[in-house]
Structure 1
Amino acid sequence: MHEPDVSAFEYRRRIIDDDLDSLMPGLAAVSIEGPKAVGKTATALARAHTVYGLDDPGQRETIRADPIRLARGKSPILIDEWQKWVPSWDIVRRAVDNDPTPGRFLLTGSAAPAGIDTHSGAGRIVPLRMRPLSLVERGFTASVSLADLLAGARPTVEGVTPATLDDYVTEVLAGGFPGMRALNERQLRAALDGYLERVIDRDFAEQGLALRRPDTLRAWMRAYAAATATTASFETIRDAATPGVGNKPSVSTTLPWRDILTRLWILDPVSAWLPSHNMLKQLASSDKHHLADPALAARLLRYTPQKLLAGDRADLQVARQGTALGALFESLVALNLRVYAQVAEADVRHLRTHRGEREVDFIVVGPDDGVVAIEVKLSAAVGDDDVKHLAWLKERIGDQLHDAVIVTTGAEAYRRRDGVAVVPAALLGP
């Protein structure tokens, strides 16, 4: 146990802090969850008075000898990397049962342990997802609020950004892991490679799966990255990972890979929007594939700025419309939307009909069930053809559509005559 030295680092506030400000005064325990290196510990340390770091073998041994220590100390008590000693979850749950005083515990976790029922903490330990840095958290200045769009009042849309296509390429490749933001290009490539290698070589073993052929998993992850922003089947991804190979990995082999990568929050697919009313029929239910950060996908595929700007489609056979840069730009927008939607108590989905005749890249569902429909366009110019699926959706759901948006790489935010908002990605914020 120790008290954090908050003077030892300069903490830069994150959007998730707004959620924590709202939740902690009324909840006894909050668990901040997400992939490694997104900043969970830094955010929790900025609030904690007592810290137990369970990724430290010495602290784990001390806690094993005297488990109730985890509930002692000045609140908030931070239990960092709780999954390194799984009984810590139940200790916190029981402590909250005995004393539900708000603000007692913060937990952080980089994995959901296999076979562990964290639902046993329902109502006592509230999970809160943390993702890599959004563009606003990276320093871009937003002028259009997703929360305002969700409110349904059709707010004024305006603002100008200096961000260019080259800047978006830079952000796709640089990623949103705070500790990597200051690295040069060579250092960044090494850091991302090391991150991915750790997932394969260490994290899988900690999840209880020993890999006989790690290179096969690397190829599968690369194929998944090539499927970014598509709804390609997992059979298609498997085949793309093993072209020309007769003895391909079985479904029983690859599905555990998907499950573990999801528990590690490395895969972050966008689920389909399946509304309960009958105004929309024949909707597909497949997830749209995304990694936690588009920088991971770009690194798996060995993309450089030159390759992306040249329209490279990668050498893996995953059918898609458009270029790899278009898919990775959409993935960057997905990351931003999910960070902004969470603080607005909204959910991010996608829409696709069974045959693919109609698609909307993102459906943001607000707390009142109203939606903001968002299309992503790797261009500064927006024409009538770009809004046809948004117009179709408006015909189907009427006033449930609170707003419609085209996210672009342009410089200016504005509303078209038909009411559709055109918003550069850098100008969209929480």
Structure 2
Amino acid sequence: MDTVAVLGRAYRSRVIDMALLRALSAAGAVVVEGARASGKTMTTLHAANSYTFIDDADVQRTLEIAPRSVLEGDAPRLLDEWQVNPELWNLVRRAVDATAEPGRFILTGSAIPADDITRHTGAGRFIRLRQRTMTWSEKLDGAACQVSIARLFEGERPATDMKASIELDEVIENILRPGFPAMTALGLEQSADRLRAYIDDVARTDIRRLADVRHEPDVIKQLIAALARSIASEVTNRTLAADVRAVAPTIDVETISGYIKLLQRLFIVEPQQPWAPKLRSRARLRVSPKLHLVDASLAAAALGAGPGQLRSDLETLGMLFESAVIHDLMVFASAIGGEVRHYRDSNGKEIDAIVTLTDGRWGAVEVKLGGAQMLAGIKSLRDVIDQIDTDAVGEPTFRLVVTGTGPVLIADDGTVIAPLSALAP
């Protein structure tokens, strides 16, 4: 559909577009989920031939009188924010069951309703897609993006480009520029204000739509800040609880765990699950997920970190940069049906990201903020891969060191080095 006619804005292509079209050709209904303001409505409206906004007051009144009427329209029909009226799930399921035609409906949702609504009624009928915030390649409109994750899996390697390197200040600016589409054109101070307002809305309103939260919004905001301080790490709920006790002295670990689950249902928090290959050594694998916020810029806003603070605090900058890399890899991997996990063992050896495909292929990715650290990244990958039983899981299809400020290079051992600004789907 013409997004200008409906929403007054021209559509900017997203990485998820092709995955959405594939899903519509394979299933009767596609569910596109993601955090509020991540661009779901624009993306799905662009792919739809008719639509209705379920959170519109007139539509709500129609649902009370003639609920099936909202399903009427040219396919694919978009039902935006379907979770506002969860009974729609079964109506869509029955409509899909009534015909073998694929691509009947697109449902979008910015929160996961209670599991019992969808657990047993969508198998074979619905495909779920996750829409995350914009990647660097999307924010930069693909400029200079020459290292394709999909092509790395096909064995292609990029040409050397010593001019691909960017300055540290540009890395900081790209981290602080939000991936929420409506905020990308704002200045850094304006976007920081919007991001803090976004966090406030999550704490005051969004999370309370899912559950009866007994603590004040400041407690949720403190938890989001605590998650930001430990972003891209295997932080424990006990550690988070200790941080949150600054504003809620009696809060316990179980409550923290419950709040994190609610933030996950809002897609504000995303876990990066561990990878568990067979090892040649006697090391034990760590099985805790790493936790990321929906966008590195949101984490920076939660910490009150602007360009000056990040320039003088490279440790925090490095954590935010790693989270930005993982975010983009998750978007690129999802486009080819893959996942992004992490590896860490009891000897302290780790790989920041393992990109896995359904056919068993995998790639190993190390993240280094500075281009000068690329040799350390190459060695780190080599040391860890040497102890993985590649007879069982196969050799990695590629090894990649993602930097903030480095060039595009191929090391003598075949490892690809590239800045995040050069990565593409």
TM-score range with shorter-chain normalisation?
A: over 0.9
Residue 175 (str. 1) matches residue 178 (str. 2): yes
Measure the CA separation in 1 of the matches of 2:245 and 2:316: 20
Q: How does 1:231-270 map to 2 (within 5 A)?
A: 231-243=234-246, 247-270=249-272
Amino acid at match of 1:98: A
Measure the CA separation in 2 of the matches of 1:397 and 1:427: 31
The alpha carbon displacement at 1:16 in A equals 0.4
Amino acid at match of 2:270: D
The alpha carbon displacement at 1:353 in A equals 0.5
Measure the CA separation in 2 of the matches of 1:182 and 1:148: 30
Measure the CA separation in 1 of the matches of 2:4 and 2:377: 51
Amino acid at match of 1:271: Q
Question: Per the alignment, in what secondary structure is the counterpart of residue 101 of structure 2?
Answer: coil
Measure the CA separation in 1 of the matches of 2:418 and 2:79: 40
Measure the CA separation in 2 of the matches of 1:370 and 1:95: 37
Q: TM-score, normalised by structure 2?
A: 0.92
Between 388-397 and 8-17, the greater mean CA deviation after superposition: 388-397
For the 8 Å contact 1:267–1:291, the answer to whether it is kept is yes
Which sections of structure 2, spanning at least 5 residues, go unmatched? none
Measure the CA separation in 2 of the matches of 1:98 and 1:350: 42
Measure the CA separation in 2 of the matches of 1:68 and 1:243: 50
Question: Per the alignment, in what secondary structure is the counterpart of residue 292 of structure 2?
Answer: coil
Aligned partner of 1:184 in structure 2 is 187
Q: TM-score, normalised by structure 1?
A: 0.91
Residue 164 (str. 1) matches residue 189 (str. 2): no
Which sections of structure 1, spanning at least 5 residues, go unmatched? 313-322
Measure the CA separation in 2 of the matches of 1:270 and 1:46: 30
Question: CA, structure 1 residues 380+74, in 2 after alignment: closer, same or farther (shift >3 Å)?
Answer: same
Match of 2:353 among 347, 350, 362: 362
Q: Deviation string for 1:212-231 (max 9, x for gaps)?
A: 32222221211111000111
Aligned partner of 2:44 in structure 1 is 44
Residue 425 (str. 1) matches residue 416 (str. 2): no
Aligned partner of 1:414 in structure 2 is 409
Match of 1:147 among 147, 150, 161: 150
Aligned partner of 1:196 in structure 2 is 199
Q: Deviation string for 1:310-349 (max 9, x for gaps)?
A: 016xxxxxxxxxx000000001101110111111211100
Measure the CA separation in 2 of the matches of 1:305 and 1:261: 27
Measure the CA separation in 1 of the matches of 2:271 and 2:200: 21
Measure the CA separation in 2 of the matches of 1:424 and 1:14: 20
Question: Per the alignment, in what secondary structure is the counterpart of residue 138 of structure 2?
Answer: coil
The alpha carbon displacement at 1:136 in A equals 1.1
Aligned partner of 1:351 in structure 2 is 343
Measure the CA separation in 2 of the matches of 1:50 and 1:402: 42
Match of 1:333 among 310, 318, 325: 325
For the 8 Å contact 2:145–2:421, the answer to whether it is kept is yes
Aligned partner of 2:294 in structure 1 is 292
Aligned partner of 1:317 in structure 2 is none
For the 8 Å contact 1:4–1:48, the answer to whether it is kept is no
For the 8 Å contact 1:24–1:103, the answer to whether it is kept is yes
Question: Per the alignment, in what secondary structure is the counterpart of residue 273 of structure 1?
Answer: coil
Question: CA, structure 1 residues 55+385, in 2 after alignment: closer, same or farther (shift >3 Å)?
Answer: same
Measure the CA separation in 2 of the matches of 1:172 and 1:206: 30
Amino acid at match of 1:131: R
Answer 1 or 2: which has greater helix percent. Answer: 2
